[in-house]
Structure 1
Amino acid sequence: MTDLKEQRELIAEACRVIAGRGLADGILGHISLRIDENLLLVRCRGPRERGLGYTVPEDIRLVDLDGNEGAPGELAGWAPPNELPLHTEVLRRRPDVEAVLHAHPPEVVAADLAGIEIRPIVGAFDIPGTRLAAGGVPVHPRGVLIRTLAQAEEMVESMGDRPVVVLRGHGLTSAAVTVEQAVLQAVSVDGLARLSLQVKAAGGTLVDLPEADMAELPDLGSGFNTGTAWRHELARLGGVVDSGPC
């Protein structure tokens, strides 16, 4: 239980991916993965903290839902994120969720502050992102650090049963069955926010994809949407990419 080498490596890679994508600048942002009903792995800050883009497996520590060590020595020299309740409350309240991501994408924050909703404005350009946006991306109206159980409960209420919630003046939270999915959802929302800002800046009007076109968007399957997309994200980092499935 205290080794969890593959899971630690995956979360560390995911942290580097979101930093490489510009979704998390500096030392801000974190990802967690449920291990059992009371334990999770989460990106913590260690004695040689260098930021999300330089995360290594050693930075991924095992804690319980109350923020205590998940095993002896797990927090020796490391501190859980201040916003750990953001992760633990999603995991408590959402049995459909195994992985939680929190990041600060500037375009997502800017679009929300400009009153721009994340909407399905594209089609085949990003099919998973379009489907996600078509289901709605709620906004949590508070721009605070999610440091307490009460604040986390408020965020989860805003999130509802959706995979992503935008946090006003703050960033976003993405929740999924896998770490890879949580990251790719955040990438899609960031891309839609960026396109929306560009369209508005060019004087255009945001228009949702017609229902007829939405109905014809194919489901390319998890092997493509997640597996291939994730190998691409790792390749962008210049890391070693396993040819096997995710």
Structure 2
Amino acid sequence: MSDGLDGLRRDVALGCRVMAHRGLVENILGHISVRIEGGRALVRSRGPRERGLQFTVPDDVRVVDLDTGEIADDPAGDYAVPSELPIHTSVLAAHPDVECVVHAHPPDVVVASLAGFALEPIFGAYDIPAAHLAAAGIPVHPRSVLIRTDELAAEMVASLGDASALVLQGHGVVTTGAEVADAVLRALQVDTLARMHLRVRAAGATPEAIPENDLAELPDLGSAFNRETLWRHHLAALEQDGRGLS
């Protein structure tokens, strides 16, 4: 990933585009934040010519004070923070080890949560990081509300606990990571789990977690494969479809 504010703005913009490209968000919904020094974060905000996440550019990513929730680098007042900014401020405050927070609305995750399906590790080698994520447990926040206050965000953080992914009942998903790629890829893993649960049930079967000994055999292929290579794939797919930033 990139260094410096300009590089991080680009990372956030690309992360938003990847989420839209992979169907995790629709139109103008969803956002990403990245912690920076000085009690601030870069946050995907909405500008005067908002076109949606698939068209996010670095200028849409603004510096936000985590204490006040105000944009610090927009003297003209052209940009607005997301209404659910408390998702980001609360998670970053509660988890000093987290650098990036993603909020997205994957339709399959929403459907699975409404149906009451727990996202179990029903596959193994098909998607090893997703299997490990499910095995660790993906909690569900039971309230289908717009998380726009500190009080509602505190409830959400309590539901998240020490997990790196949280399903919001009838709403979407929150994921965390050390970098943009980590959090976005984790959101994609939750989406894969939900999609496969729904497909198994559509085929007339009941999804079941794979045996513990199969889980134990799943190797950690390393960040070079699970993150760097996979992230390059998603960025290349953006470029191929004419949705990249270059």
TM-score using structure 2 length: 0.94
Which residues of structure 1 form unaligned runs of 5+?
241-246
Superposition deviation, residue 72 in structure 1: 5.7
SS of aligned partner of 1:223:
helix
Which residues of structure 2 form unaligned runs of 5+?
none
Superposition deviation, residue 119 in structure 1: 1.0
Distance 1:57 1:63 in 2: 14
Could you say if the C-alpha distance between residues 89 and 37 of structure 1 is closer, same or farther in structure 2, counting changes exceeding 3 Å? farther
SS of aligned partner of 1:174:
strand
Aligned CA-pair RMSD: 1.3
Distance 2:7 2:16 in 1: 14
Q: Please tell me the residue identity of whatever aligns with 2:115.
A: A
Superposition deviation, residue 37 in structure 1: 5.0
Question: Which residue does the alignment assign to 1:232?
Answer: 233
Question: Which residue does the alignment assign to 1:187?
Answer: 188
SS of aligned partner of 1:133:
helix
Give aligned-pair identity as a percent.
Answer: 56
Question: Which residue does the alignment assign to 2:81?
Answer: 80
SS of aligned partner of 1:147:
coil
| Equivalent runs, 1:82-97 vs 2, <5 Å | 82-97=83-98
| Kept after mapping to 1: 8 A contact 2:62/2:73 | no
Distance 1:188 1:112 in 2: 15
TM-score using structure 1 length: 0.94
Q: Please tell me the residue identity of whatever aligns with 2:230.
A: A
Question: Which residue does the alignment assign to 2:103?
Answer: 102
Q: Please tell me the residue identity of whatever aligns with 2:57.
A: V
1:216 equivalent in alignment to 2:237 = no
Distance 1:83 1:142 in 2: 14
Superposition deviation, residue 68 in structure 1: 1.4
Question: Which residue does the alignment assign to 2:65?
Answer: 64
Question: Which residue does the alignment assign to 1:55?
Answer: 56
Deviation by residue 1:58-102 (Cα, 9 ceiling, x = unmatched): 0000011121133463x7300000000110000000112100000
Distance 2:69 2:196 in 1: 38
Superposition deviation, residue 207 in structure 1: 1.2
SS of aligned partner of 2:9:
helix
